[in-house]
Structure 1
Amino acid sequence: MKTTINQVHKYVDQTVTLGAWLANKRSSGKIAFLQLRDGSGFIQGVVVKEEVGEEVFQLAKGLTQETSMYVTGVVRKDERSPLGYELNVTGIKVLHESVDFPITPKEHGTEFLMDNRHLWLRSRRQHAVMKIRNEIIRATYEFFNENGFAKVDPPILTGSAPEGTSELFATKYFDEDAYLSQSGQLYMEAAAMALGKVFSFGPTFRAEKSKTRRHLIEFWMIEPEMAFVEFEENLEVQEQYVSYIVQSVLKNCQLELKTLGRDISKLEKITAPFPRISYDDAIKFLHEKGFEDIQWGDDFGAPHETAIAESFEKPVFITHYPVGIKPFYMQPHPERDDVVLCADLIAPEGYGEIIGGSERIHDMKLLEEKLKEHGLDATHAYKWYLELRQYGSVPHSGFGLGLERTVAWISGVEHVRETIPFPRLLNRLYP
Structure 2
Amino acid sequence: MPRDGYLYTREVHGLEPGARARVRGWVYRYRDLGSKVFIVLRDPEGILQLVASAEYSPREVLEEARRADIEASIVAEGVVARDPRAPGGVELRLEKLRVVGESRDFPIKGGEGIDYLLDNRHLWIRSRKLTQVWRIRHTVLRAFREYFESRGFWEVSPPILTQAAVEGGATLFKVDFFGDVAYLSQSAQLYLEALIFSLERVWALSPSFRAERSRTRRHLYEYWHLEAEEAWAHMEDEMRTVEELVAYATKRVLDERLEELEQLRQKPERLEPAKKTPYPRITYEEAIERLRKKGFDISYGDDLGADEERALGEDYETPFFITHFPLRIKAFYMKEDPQDPEKALAFDLLVPGVGEIVGGSEREDDYEKLVQHIKMHNLDPRDYEWYLDLRRYGSVPHSGFGLGVERYIMWIAGLDHIRDAIPFPRFRDRLYP
Specify the TM-score bucket, using the shorter chain as the normaliser: over 0.9
What is aligned with 1:33?
38
TM-aligned CA deviation for residue 82 of structure 1: 6.6
1:41 Cα deviation (Å)? 2.9
Helix, strand or coil at the partner of 1:32: strand
User: Does the CA contact (< 8 Å) of 2:67 and 2:99 recur in 1?
Assistant: no
- Whether 1:408 aligns to 2:406 is no
1:53 corresponding residue in structure 2: 58
Aligned to 2:311: 307
1:12 offset after TM fit, Å?
A: 4.8
Query: Any gaps of 5 or more consecutive residues in structure 2?
Result: none
Alpha-carbon shift at residue 17 of structure 1 (Å): 2.0
1:114-133, aligned counterparts within 5 Å? 114-133=118-137
Partners of 1:284 and 1:81 in 2: how far apart?
56
Deviations 1:70-122 (A, max 9, x none): 11123457788776754333211111211110011x21100010000000011
* Secondary structure in 1 matching 2:255: helix
> After the TM superposition, which residues 90-109 of structure 1 pair with which residues of structure 2 at under 5 Å, given as runs?
90-104=95-109, 106-109=110-113
Shift of 1:57: 2.7
Tell me whether 1:20 sits opposite 2:12 in the alignment: no
Asked if 1 retains the 8 angstrom alpha-carbon contact of 2:61 and 2:94, the reply is: no
Kept in 2, the 8 Å contact 1:12–1:74? The answer is no
**Once the 2 structures are TM-superposed, how far is the Cα of residue 377 of structure 1 from its aligned partner?**
2.9
Whether contact under 8 Å (2:64, 2:98) holds in the other structure is no
Distance in 1 of aligned mates of 2:203 and 2:86 = 40
SS of match in other structure, 1:388:
helix
**1:351–1:69 Cα change, 3 Å:** same
Q: Secondary structure at the match of 1:283?
A: helix
Residue 289 of structure 1 and its aligned partner are, at CA, apart by: 0.9
1:376 — aligned with what? 379
Partner amino acid, structure 2, of 1:238: V
Secondary structure of the corresponding residue to residue 333 of structure 2: coil
For the Cα contact (< 8 Å) 1:23–1:35, is it kept in 2?
A: yes
Q: Alpha carbons of 1:144 and 1:51: their partners in 2 closer, same or farther (altered >3 Å)?
A: same
Local SS of the residue matching 1:353: strand
- Counterpart of 2:242? 238
AA at the equivalent of 2:137? R
Write out aligned runs for 1:224-373 (5 A): 224-271=228-275, 272-291=277-296, 293-348=297-352, 350-373=353-376
Structure 1, unpaired ranges of 5+:
none
Q: How many residues are aligned here?
A: 427
1:197 positional shift = 0.9
Separation (CA, whole Å) in 1 of partners of 2:141 and 2:88: 23
Give the partner amino acid of 1:112.
Y
Normalising by structure 1, report the TM-score: 0.94
Given candidates 387, 390, 405, the residue that maps to 2:389 is: 387
Q: TM-score, normalised by structure 2?
A: 0.94
Please give the secondary structure, in 1, of the residue aligned with 2:411.
helix
Specify the code of the residue in structure 2 equivalent to 1:395.
Answer: P
Q: Deviations over 1:310-356 (max 9, x none)?
A: 100001111111111100111111100111111111111x2111000
Paired residue secondary structure (2:403) = strand
d(CA) in 2 for partners of 1:141, 1:180: 24
What CA RMSD, in Å, does the superposition of the two structures yield over aligned residues? 1.9
| Cα distance in structure 1, aligned partners of 2:70 and 2:62 | 16
Write the letter of the residue equivalent to 1:102. Answer: P
Q: Compared with structure 1, are the counterparts of its residues 132 and 364 closer, same or farther at alpha carbon in structure 2 (3 Å cutoff)?
A: same
Q: Secondary structure at the match of 1:280?
A: helix
Distance in 1 between the 2:424 and 2:117 partners?
12
Deviation at 1:366, TM superposition (A): 1.2
Distance 1:77 1:197, change over 3 A: farther
Q: Does 2:154 match 1:150?
A: yes
- State the AA in 2 paired with 1:276: R
SS at match of 1:101: coil
Contact 1:214-1:416 within 8 A present in 2 as well: yes
SS of residue matched to 1:337 = strand
1:2 — aligned with what?
A: 6
- Retained in 2: the 8 A contact 1:73–1:91? yes
Where does residue 424 of structure 1 map in the other structure?
A: 426
Which AA in structure 1 matches 2:423?
P
Q: What displacement does 1:255 show?
A: 1.8
Report the AA paired with residue 36 of structure 1: L
* TM-fit CA distance, 1:373: 2.1
Distance 2:320 2:16 in 1: 46
Mapped to 1, the partners of 2:292 and 2:378 lie a distance apart of 34
Q: Is the 8 A contact 2:193 2:229 kept in 1?
A: yes
Note the C-alpha offset of 1:163: 1.6
Task: State the AA in 1 paired with 2:312.
Answer: I
Cα gap change, 1:221 to 1:76, in 2 (>3 Å):
farther
Note the C-alpha offset of 1:367.
Answer: 1.1
Q: Is the 8 A contact 2:58 2:95 kept in 1?
A: no
**Structure 1 residues 258-293: Cα deviation after superposition (integer angstroms, max 9, x where no partner):** 1111122101221222111110111111111111x2
- CA shift at 1:136, angstroms? 1.0
